[in-house]
Amino acid sequence: MAVVRDPRELVGWLLFLVCAGIFVAAGVRDGDPLMTTGSVVFLAGCVLFLWSYPRR
């Protein structure tokens, strides 16, 4: 049986992806390896959560 999810949940995760991308860009721009690494890990976590999102 398919799980019905609220479309707002998907929008929220997409906004997290956008934020993660902005943080990665800021870390690269500032030359801050800790911020860049943390942002890439956060981005990967968001992608993993979205990967499990049911497809139509």
Nearest of 22, 56, 9, 8 to residue 42 by alpha carbon: 22
- Confirm whether 35 is domain-assigned: yes
**Residue type at 4 in one-letter notation:** V
The total number of structural domains that make up the chain: 1
- Confirm whether 3 is domain-assigned: no
What is the model's pLDDT at position 44?
94
pLDDT at 47 over 60: yes
Res. 51 pLDDT band, cuts 50 70 90: confident
pLDDT at 28 over 80: yes
- Confirm whether 23 is domain-assigned: yes
What is the C-alpha to C-alpha distance for residues 49 and 45, in angstroms, rounded to an integer?
A: 6
- Confirm whether 9 is domain-assigned: no
What is the model's pLDDT at position 29?
97
Structural domain boundaries enclosing 28: 17-51
What is the model's pLDDT at position 49?
85
